[in-house]
Each structure stands twice: as C-alpha cells, then as structure tokens.
Amino acid sequence: MSYFEKVKNTEINPNAIILAVESSCDETAASVIKGGREVLSSVILSSATEHIKFGGVVPEIASRAHTTAISKAVEQAISDAGITLTDLDAIAVTYGAGLLGALLVGVSYAKALAFSLNIPLIPVSHIRGHLSASYIADKNLKPPFISILASGGHTAIIKVDDYYTYDILGQTLDDAVGEAFDKVARVLGLEYPGGPNIEKLAKQGSNNIELPKMLKGKKGYDFSYSGLKTAVINYVHNREQKGESVIKEDVACSFQTSAIDVLVEKALLAVKETGINTVTAGGGVVANGYLREKLTAECEKAGVKLVLPERKYCTDNASMIGAEGYLQYLKGNFANLDLNAKASVSLK
C-alpha cells in the first residue's frame, strides 16, 4: 500500500499532536502544538544576521541555512515538548507563499518524516497561518471576526466568516506595509530587518512631517503604500540635495504613524459596516508596538473585542502553521508525497 493509501483515512483525533515546520523566508522554525491551540514548543533559528550585509534576505543563503538548521530545529521542538516522534499524529508544513528554495527545504524534510512515521502530511498556507496565530492567543476565539493581515508580503482587511471561509474586504494595491517599512528603513540607512529598527527610531521622534495619508478616510478597504514610500524617499532626498538636515527619528515616526493609522482605521470601519464585533491581527508588522497600542486603544474606545497574538507569534514562526495545520487536519486535507512548494498562494 502506498504512503497516501495508508494515511488518507487516518482517524481524526481532536487532541492531535502536530509537528509544524516553517521555512518560507529566513527563519527555520519548528513547533509542536496540541489540539490546535496549545503550544508545547516553539523553536526559531534565524539566519537574519547572515543577510544584514546584503540589506535583505538572499534566497540562496536562506536555503542553505535552512538545510543545516532544520534537523536541529525539529529535534529541539520535539525535546522541548517532552514527547517523542512516535507521539505525533501529523506533520504540518508551509508549502507557500515564500522563497521557493527555502520552502523546498521544509517541504522535503516534512515529507520524509511523515513518510517514515506513516502519518499525514498537511500542506499549510503561510498567509492563513498568520491569521490562525490568533487562535493561540485566545483559546476561545471563534469566527466570525475581522482580521488585519500585515506582513512583508501582504496587507489586507479580512472578514473571517468561519474557520475555512474568508472574505477579503480590501488589500494593498501595490506594496505591502512591511515592504514599505523595509524600504524606508533602507533609505534611512537602517539595517535589515527594517521594521523593528524603524519602530526603535520612531520612539525618539515626532509625527511632524506632512506625508500623504494614502487612502485614509476614503471609502473601501484597499490600501496603497507605494505613494507613502515614495513621499518619504523624496522628502529625504530633497533635503539632502538642499544640504538640509534630515531628522531620521521624525521621518521614522511620521512614516510609522501614516502606515499604521490607516490599518487601524479600516479595521474599525469593517467592524462598523459588518457588525462583527471582534478584531484580530497577524503578520510581522503586528509586532509593531505603535500598531498594538493604537489598535488596543481604538478597540477599547469602540467597545470591540481585540485578540492580538503575542509578538513572537506575529513574526514568522511554526506555531501559527500548527494552528492552521490543525484546522486542515480536522478536514482531512492531507498531501501526498508529490507536494510542491509555491512562491505565491492566493489569499483565500
């Protein structure tokens, strides 16, 4: 009997122990999660320091770093969880979106392990994983809710109707918000990764530079970050050409305010228009302290329930892949050994 024949009718265990593997960018991550919401371990080995001198992730370097780190990450996750490999019910792996060479390391590893243990392999979308991080934050969270997705590759306001059905209310028409953070950071001479460094600098600055408010205040839920990014770049270059000083702290603070306020505003608009009174958020930019404070304050003011994943579950991690993997496991959505990696996957 083939591997898939053996696993396809696996009896579903509501308390399943799932090993999740994530290797879409520069973090090699492994996590063990029980019943979809209880994180037993979460290991992240990052190759970020190897990319600093290049100003961004170099795919080839990331792939090789995954190759050397993946066994270590999985062994550590299994040992931290206090289990053995034979306790696993399934293996979840990110198959997309991300860097192909990087994804293939996780996909190949997960396939081999699932095959050798004779347990199901669950293909997980990285984007859905970011949204499912909220299930870890609140064990009682149930759809429907409005979610802000804000990462390096995506920016959207999503209506989560049930565990499997999403409605994208609006999304970025050009750059993602995280991408804008990274590009502005580069212009300011800050090291990769740009987001956390902008946040640090912004704490010492003021929101006193006039920047486009993008689509803020306008109807609808779409975003545009390329205009904001260009305005910041032009501001810096114009002042430099005139020999005027650039107060980087103020640029960082003004940019951060413009970039984040619109996200918060659109999420609350969605609450108002749909009548859904719960907001969640996911993606690396949700680790941003200003976003967290502003969203918390606005939700409090409007009497809206807010579920925010801890920072470590906002940036790339494998626990969120386990949380989403569990939902797919309940549906019996298993992959065969020909599972391939995909550079992009649709938001839905």
Of 47 and 257, the one with the shorter C-beta distance to Zn ion is: 47
Residue 189: Cβ within 10 Å count: 10
Cβ 289 to ligand KG4 shortest distance, Å? 7
Contact 343/116 with Cβ under 8 angstroms? Answer: no
How does 52-85 read in b/e, with b if 16+ C-beta sit within 10 Å? eeeeebbbebbbbbbbebbeebbebbbeebebee
By CB under 5 A, is residue 316 in contact with Zn ion? yes
Q: Which does 199 bind (CB under 5 to 8 A by kind): Zn ion, ligand KG4, none?
A: ligand KG4
Q: Which does 178 bind (CB under 5 to 8 A by kind): ligand KG4, Zn ion, none?
A: ligand KG4
Which phi-psi region, left, alpha or beta, contains residue 30 (left: φ > 0; alpha: ψ -120 to 50)? beta
Q: Which does 309 bind (CB under 5 to 8 A by kind): ligand KG4, Zn ion, none?
A: none
Tokens representing residue 259 in the block: 């970039």
Q: Which does 193 bind (CB under 5 to 8 A by kind): ligand KG4, Zn ion, none?
A: ligand KG4
By CB under 6 A, is residue 315 in contact with ligand KG4? yes
Q: Is 267 exposed, middle or buried (0-12, 13-18, 19+ CB in 10 A)?
A: buried
SS3 helix, strand, coil % of the chain, rounded to 5? Answer: 45, 20, 35
Cβ 241 to Zn ion shortest distance, Å? 37
Tokens representing residue 96 in the block: 């997309």
Site for ligand KG4 in 4-63 (CB under 6 A): 25
- Segment near Zn ion (CB under 5 A); pick from 76-84, 175-183, 227-235, 315-323: 315-323
Of 120 and 194, the one with the shorter C-beta distance to ligand KG4 is: 194
Among 96, 101, 194, 322, binds ligand KG4 (CB under 6 A): 194
Among 103, 316, 319, 334, binds ligand KG4 (CB under 6 A): 316
Q: Cis omega before residue 196 (within 30°)? A: no
Tokens representing residue 211 in the block: 């920047």
The 137-176 contact track toward ligand KG4, x by CB under 6 A, reads --------------xxx-----------------------
The 149-178 contact track toward Zn ion, x by CB under 5 A, reads --x---------------------------
**Three-state helix/strand/coil letters over 85-135:** HHHCCEEEEEEECCCHHHHHHHHHHHHHHHHHHCCCEEEEEHHHHHHHHHH
Sheet holding 166-171, edge to edge: 166-171, 155-160, 145-150, 278-282, 305-307
Helix segments in 275-318, DSSP class H: 289-302
What is the DSSP pairing of strand 121-125 with strand 90-96? parallel
Among 36, 96, 106, 193, binds ligand KG4 (CB under 6 A): 193
By CB under 6 A, is residue 325 in contact with ligand KG4? no
By CB under 5 A, is residue 254 in contact with Zn ion? no
- Beta-bridged to residue 31, according to DSSP, are 20, 42
Of 78 and 317, the one with the shorter C-beta distance to ligand KG4 is: 317
Question: Interface residues with Zn ion (CB under 5 A)?
Answer: 151, 316
Question: Interface residues with ligand KG4 (CB under 6 A)?
Answer: 25, 130, 151-153, 178-179, 181-182, 193-196, 199, 283-285, 287-288, 315-316
